Amino acid sequence: MKIVLAGILVAACLFLEASEGSASLLEENCGTTKRPLRVRRVVGGVAAERFANPWMVMVFSEKRFLCGGSLITSRFVLTAANCLSELPISKVRLGGFDMDISENTYEVNIDRNISHPQFALSTPKYDIALLRMAQEVSFSDYIRPICLLVNQKVPNTNPNFKLTGWGKTKDHRTNMVLGKINSGEMSRILQTTNLQIADLSFCNRKGYNLADQSHICAGSSTSDACHGDGGSPLSAELNYEGAIREFQFGIVSYGSTSCNDYGVYTNVTHYMDWIKDTIHANSV
């Protein structure tokens, strides 16, 4: 994740009301965190709080880190389909914060790589995938799913959203293909920043001419997703039935090759039927 301007970003929360009775959760025990024990900051960016993102997942092919992802149930991880386009995903690491520290992390093999059937690298549409873990995982302070809102669309507002990932913190101006890793400096510590949602026409004017209602246009003047952040969640806090929980609305898909502009995210709510149906079909 690249921080375009130096400085410390102030965290912002989104408090939105979901109408009672009109919405439900994909996983009831989701979106809550333990109060962080400490806050660490890195030069040129903001490190995430240790317990603040227990749904964050490192996605690997053999021993190579490929992308980010998010835990959405005890058996499934949500990521971008472009992460599966070259090499199959072999395992994921849950509970991670510092890539060099394995304490309190849990690695699980992946037994099914499930990209959206209409995804192709020739088009940025349908950039969504599910990874089925070989076994169910138990939830803890370090491992907990993010919430997905069922039967409710994102309110028509323009709030701050949160992006979290282990992507590059410096741009070496190499080519980016749908959030894939290229040469350059990756972040060892999980990074987080706040982004604004913009109208899709804004991203299309910047050359993302295929962005439509299945996408979200987001960015800021100070930070941006970068190589290695592909598959990571774009999220926001919601007041759901009197409790504040973290909900995922987007997946890092594609954007500027220089990592300093608005980018395009897969709109998770647009694919909720596919997510539910795919989980149901692959639960056995």
pLDDT value of residue 152? 65
Q: Which strand (E) or helix (H) includes residue 254?
A: strand 243-254
pLDDT value of residue 122? 80
Helix (H, G, I), strand (E, B) or coil at 271: helix
pLDDT value of residue 116? 97
List the structure tokens of 181: 């890793």
Confidence grade of residue 218 (pLDDT, cut at 50, 70, 90):
confident
Sorted by sequence, the CB contacts under 8 Å of residue 122 that are 6+ apart come out as none
pLDDT value of residue 227? 63
Q: How far is CA 75 from CA 130, 187, 235, 269, in A?
A: 10, 27, 20, 20
Digit-coded pLDDT (tens) for 38-68: 433 322 336 667 778 999 999 999 878 889 9
Digit-coded pLDDT (tens) for 96-107: 888 888 778 999
Digit-coded pLDDT (tens) for 13-28: 333 444 444 568 999 9
Q: If you search the block for the tokens 């919601």, which residue do you land on?
A: 238
Confidence grade of residue 130 (pLDDT, cut at 50, 70, 90):
very high
Nearest to 107 by CA among 144, 80, 134: 134
Q: If you search the block for the tokens 């898909």, which residue do you land on?
A: 253
Measured between alpha carbons, how far is 189 from 206 in angstroms, rounded to an integer?
Answer: 31
Sorted by sequence, the CB contacts under 8 Å of residue 14 that are 6+ apart come out as 159, 160, 161, 236, 237, 238
Helix (H, G, I), strand (E, B) or coil at 218: strand
Q: Which residue has the higher pLDDT, 196 or 49?
A: 196
Q: If you search the block for the tokens 């056995």, which residue do you land on?
A: 284
List the structure tokens of 153: 């669309």
- Specify the pairing of strand 2-3 against strand 64-71: unpaired
Measured between alpha carbons, how far is 147 from 26 in angstroms, rounded to an integer?
Answer: 7
